[in-house]
Amino acid sequence: MTTRRHFLAGLLATGLAPRPGWAEAGDPAYLSAARLPSGEFALIGLNRLGVAVFKIPLPGRGHAAAAHPTTPLAVAFARRPGRFALVVDCLRHAVTAQLDAPEGRHFYGHGAFSGDGRYLFTSENDYDAARGMVGVWDGRKGFRRVGEFSSAGVGPHDLRMLPDGETLVVANGGIETHPEWGRAKLNLPEMRPNLSYLSLDGTVLEQQEPPAEWHLNSMRHLTVSGDGQVAVACQWQGDPAGTPPLVATHRRGQSIEFHPMGNGMERDMQGYVGSVAFAGDGRSLAFTGPREGIAGRMGADGQMQARMTAPDICGVAPQGQGFVFTTGVGEVLQETAAHRGQIARHDVAWDNHLIPVG
């Protein structure tokens, strides 16, 4: 396989081969950042069986990645507050470009490609102005920065492209931070998280907020189903005794709905949901709570279906009508109709997110 990849890479360099797809890079189904036993870091591609098909070094701890929709390119983001994002050629196992946050900015660890794969959108903190921004980078120009616009909130963490290819949805967590203060939260009494829908020129199309009494429910991570339903994972910043629902769903033109997990599960998760994902058919969604090693599955209507436990479980991505999870102790877990349990284990610590390819 390695020889074939090198052969294809050579043909591509001479212009004699068509542009390769993800299959030529080992056909990964998922991407995840990880810490290696040496203490170094890497971006790893996993196939559907949890087998690693490539491992590409990173200069520091990664958080999440954005997978190009057609070609074997990924952008690996540093953990917040990070200033690097690396464009990785997953066929040649090489970094081809580095995106540097402008002066006075840092990345939040997430990005999303436009539907045609030309543009990359990144969530950023303009920390002196205490405002969220979205950076725009042109892949046809070597990922040169070509624009930016407001995220329509503070602390934009995750952002996703809707299926129409023309609308971004952004989870503005509402929390003000500044690199001089590390990860300290500077505005909790006044924070106002929101879910914002933006056109690709930055026009605000729609916004949703938690109820006023839940204004400390920071909206952090997103998943989008094939028909455009959005699910939001939240992280509660208030009194644990008053932890509200931590998962919400929304369709444009409707009101956002928060879904209680029941049986005190939000408190069991210490008010913290790490990742969320819709199943491939959009009929259910899974969420993870790494602080207490808890994961759950609910229907798209918010009705709880199952609960599972695994140490430091955080990454989650769809696999057919079920899910695949990763943990901080190296496990790759499957929860499908055919199998529930471990399918692979690696001598790594998987980071927070498992990113589907394609």
Residue 15 has pLDDT above 70, yes or no: no
- The span from the CA of 270 to the CA of 290, in Å, is 9
- The reply to whether 288 falls in a domain is yes
- The reply to whether 248 falls in a domain is yes
Nearest residue to 166 (alpha-carbon basis) of 231, 118, 219: 118
- The reply to whether 180 falls in a domain is yes
> In this predicted structure, what is the pLDDT of residue 154?
98
Report residue 186's pLDDT band, with 50, 70 and 90 as the boundaries: confident
The per-residue pLDDT for range 63-77, each reduced to its tens digit, is: 999 999 999 999 999
Residue 310 has pLDDT above 80, yes or no: yes
3-state secondary structure (DSSP) of residue 333: strand
> In this predicted structure, what is the pLDDT of residue 183?
75
Q: Give 44's contacts (C-beta < 8 A, 6+ positions apart).
A: 31, 32, 33, 34, 52, 54, 55, 56, 346, 348
> In this predicted structure, what is the pLDDT of residue 179?
83
- The span from the CA of 189 to the CA of 238, in Å, is 10
Q: Are strands 275-278 and 30-35 parallel, antiparallel or unpaired?
A: unpaired
Boundaries of domain holding 103 = 20-356
- The span from the CA of 12 to the CA of 8, in Å, is 6
**CATH number for the domain including 239?**
2.130.10.10
DSSP states along 18-65: PPP-GGGGT--SEEEEEE-TTS-EEEEEE-TTS-EEEEEEESS-EEEE
Q: What is the mean pLDDT of the segment spanning 218-222?
A: 98
> In this predicted structure, what is the pLDDT of residue 354?
98
* Secondary structure percentages of the chain, helix, strand, coil, to 5: 10, 50, 40
Residue 286 has pLDDT above 50, yes or no: yes
Mean pLDDT of the chain, nearest integer: 93
- The span from the CA of 296 to the CA of 335, in Å, is 10
Range name among 95-109, 164-178, 180-194 with the lowest pLDDT average: 180-194
- The reply to whether 32 falls in a domain is yes
Q: Give 151's contacts (C-beta < 8 A, 6+ positions apart).
A: 123, 124, 131, 132, 133, 134, 159, 170, 172, 196, 198
- The reply to whether 252 falls in a domain is yes
- The reply to whether 242 falls in a domain is yes
Amino acid (one-letter) located at 261: M
3-state secondary structure (DSSP) of residue 9: helix
Report residue 1's pLDDT band, with 50, 70 and 90 as the boundaries: very low
- The span from the CA of 11 to the CA of 18, in Å, is 9
Nearest residue to 125 (alpha-carbon basis) of 77, 165, 68: 77
- The reply to whether 84 falls in a domain is yes
- The reply to whether 2 falls in a domain is no
The tally of domains found in the chain comes to: 1
